[in-house]
Structure 1
Amino acid sequence: MTATDTLSIAVVQHACEPDRATNLDRSIAGIREAAKRGAQLVLLPELHCSRYFCQQEDADCFDLAEAIPGPGTEAIGAVAAELGVVVVASLFEKRAPGLYHNTAVVLDADGRLAGRYRKMHIPDDPGYYEKFYFTPGDLGFEPIDTAVGRLGVLVCWDQWYPEAARLMALAGAEILLYPTAIGWNPDDAPEEQQRQREAWRTIQRAHAVANGLPVAVANRCGFEPDPAGQHAGADFWGDSFIAGPQGEILTEAGAKTGVHLAEIERANTERVRRWWPFLRDRRIDAYGDLVKRWRD
């Protein structure tokens, strides 16, 4: 098998501190380690330059946002070009005064900004007050072409929606990538924590199966207190993983900082889709009600 027959993917998992420079250094160190170990594509966690500020509603947190292109894409793009790797990073985008997005950017192997994806599904739950900060994405579900292939980039809460994964697949994505920031409430019972974690793993593995595509997920890890002191904080469980097109786990992280790689055989999608021709058998003539909120 030649080098072009496979794609080496790395997921970088790390904890985040209040200091932006510390977090960016950790992300870049992860990119360097991944490249040293042979990765061609590197995925970073969601909003990896800061702590997860959405635990509270605080207008001062908008100061964390940055322009795209801007300092984040410049720093990560320079490392991508130096190492010749493609990097998927996650930034708090300031589009205009008062207009902000949760945005994933793709830096190609030559360092250029190959494209961006603005998070489409925005949660608003205790400890995850993202609707206060982020305008829903307006770029649709469009894969991004890079030196290593066509990437279907989605962000965190998007991972619960089979429609998003399907639309990326129908547009020709060769892999689904999910930068993520998810954890459990430390006050929840251990049994409930495990149910949440397993549901999160299962839904994303199901996207791999339903679409015959590899899936890569990079989550942050570690405990982050609620700055407002209104709840117990968030314990980000890590457990980043890469799955093949039948949902098989190729590599997975535990709860601690680390860089994890997997080799994807590019021809597997073709083989799996021949065995399980879900795209062939879709009843597109009968799915019109999917565009409705609910069937009364």
Structure 2
Amino acid sequence: MSRYLDVAAAQMGPVARDEPRSSAVRRMITLMREARARGADLVVYPELALTTFFPRWVIDDESELDAFFETEMPGRETAPLFEESARLGISFYLGYAELVREGSEKRRFNTSIFVDGTGTIAAKYRKVHLPGHDEPQAGRTFQHLEKRYFRTGDLGFPVWHACGGLMGMCLCNDRRWPETYRVMGLQGVELIMLGYNTPVHHTGYEAVDALAGFHNHLSVQAGAYQNATWVVATAKGGTEEGSEMIAQSAIVAPSGEIVAMASTRGDEVITARCDLDLGRFYRETIFDFERHREPSAYGLIVERKGARPPDA
């Protein structure tokens, strides 16, 4: 018997530096309503969906930097999105910049949350694989300073029961690392929600940047296939404050096939009916970890190189 979940990727076009959160939230509500009208029970938004991708700039003023972060969720400006979720009975994933104050200390994370169909936060994730640099790089038109503005995520890669299946989350650069998918795959994940903001010229090497779109889908399709899971990958695209973003939002099946893909670089909803039992066929055959995976051998390989073996 199949377990179907109708999902939507709600791609967003550029968010200007001076665009208020209330405007971004109105756009997201419009996308949510369209997703629901098309039968979706879950809608996935991009990474840092509420603001422009501010790590492209050097920001030394503390109050200016803080203005890009959320200190509560939902807050006054984001509450309407939660209210609409409850009204429509639709779950959603949202990426945003999180500021945690503990006394005089500030901790900043690149965060995503899963909100269930009652408008209640049911899970949180903080980005683990931070790209870029912690100091400005000479000669770059746009910086990539996630390491400067965010701490490494401290919540791991948990999975949880929701929407009739086992769900997981990650963010942007996490998708390039096989460990991201494998940690969740070992827990039996059936659908991973992924938001991203990827500049076309993020590495500074023309030959690599020219393949940004190819590498985007390659990473997601490989992760989905090798771990027998659906992945809903949602971008912010277009030209944002002069920086080109790749878009290419896609819904990928456990087979590794793209079953839906955005055709624009702006606000757009794509949907797919996901059979959560589809991954079972791969987990019981090619990727039966219990029968075919050999973690004991990995330690031998690493030990020969003088490094510490990974946990089995």
TM-score by length of 2: 0.84
Q: Residue 154 of structure 1: SS of its match in structure 2?
A: strand
Q: Specify whether residues 207 and 290 from structure 1 end up closer, same or farther in structure 2 by C-alpha distance, changes over 3 A only.
A: farther
1:182 is matched with: 198
Is 1:92 matched up with 2:97? yes
CA contact (8 A) 2:212 2:246 kept: no
Q: Describe the superposition over 1:207-250 as per-residue Cα deviations: whole angstroms up to 9, x where unpaired.
A: 0110011111000011123xxxxxxx420121100010011110
Q: Which runs of 4+ in 1 moved over 3 A?
A: 72-75, 186-194, 288-292
Aligned residues: 286
Q: CA deviation at 1:191?
A: 6.8
CA contact (8 A) 1:240 1:252 kept: yes
1:22 is matched with: 23
Q: Residue 46 of structure 2: SS of its match in structure 1?
A: coil
| Partners of 1:117 and 1:234 in 2: CA distance | 27
CA contact (8 A) 1:120 1:140 kept: yes
Q: CA deviation at 1:199?
A: 1.1
- The correspondence for 2:225, drawn from 192, 203, 209, is 209
Structure ID, larger Rg: 2
Q: Describe the superposition over 1:157-188 as per-residue Cα deviations: whole angstroms up to 9, x where unpaired.
A: 11111001110111232111211001213998
Gaps of 5+ in 1: 226-232
Is 1:102 matched up with 2:106? no
CA contact (8 A) 1:46 1:90 kept: yes
Q: Residue 95 of structure 2: SS of its match in structure 1?
A: strand
Q: Percent identity?
A: 27
2:281 is matched with: 271
Q: CA deviation at 1:190?
A: 8.5
CA contact (8 A) 1:57 1:132 kept: no
1:244 is matched with: 253
CA contact (8 A) 1:152 1:169 kept: no
Q: CA deviation at 1:263?
A: 0.8
Q: Residue 28 of structure 1: SS of its match in structure 2?
A: helix
Q: Specify whether residues 102 and 289 from structure 1 end up closer, same or farther in structure 2 by C-alpha distance, changes over 3 A only.
A: farther
Q: CA deviation at 1:65?
A: 1.0
1:64-103 alignment to 2 at 5 Å?
64-71=68-75, 74-96=79-101, 97-103=105-111
Is 1:61 matched up with 2:69? no
Q: Residue 203 of structure 1: SS of its match in structure 2?
A: helix
Q: Specify whether residues 103 and 187 from structure 1 end up closer, same or farther in structure 2 by C-alpha distance, changes over 3 A only.
A: closer
| Partners of 2:259 and 2:286 in 1: CA distance | 20
Gaps of 5+ in 2: 134-139, 308-312
Q: Specify whether residues 210 and 187 from structure 1 end up closer, same or farther in structure 2 by C-alpha distance, changes over 3 A only.
A: closer
Is 1:167 matched up with 2:190? no
CA contact (8 A) 2:74 2:82 kept: no
Q: CA deviation at 1:17?
A: 2.3
Q: Residue 88 of structure 1: SS of its match in structure 2?
A: strand
1:229 is matched with: none
Q: Residue 184 of structure 1: SS of its match in structure 2?
A: coil
Is 1:258 matched up with 2:263? no
Q: Specify whether residues 141 and 276 from structure 1 end up closer, same or farther in structure 2 by C-alpha distance, changes over 3 A only.
A: same
Question: Match of 1:284, as an amino acid?
Answer: P
CA contact (8 A) 1:109 1:147 kept: no
Q: CA deviation at 1:116?
A: 0.3
Is 1:235 matched up with 2:244? yes
| Partners of 2:3 and 2:35 in 1: CA distance | 19
Q: Specify whether residues 289 and 42 from structure 1 end up closer, same or farther in structure 2 by C-alpha distance, changes over 3 A only.
A: farther
2:128 is matched with: 120
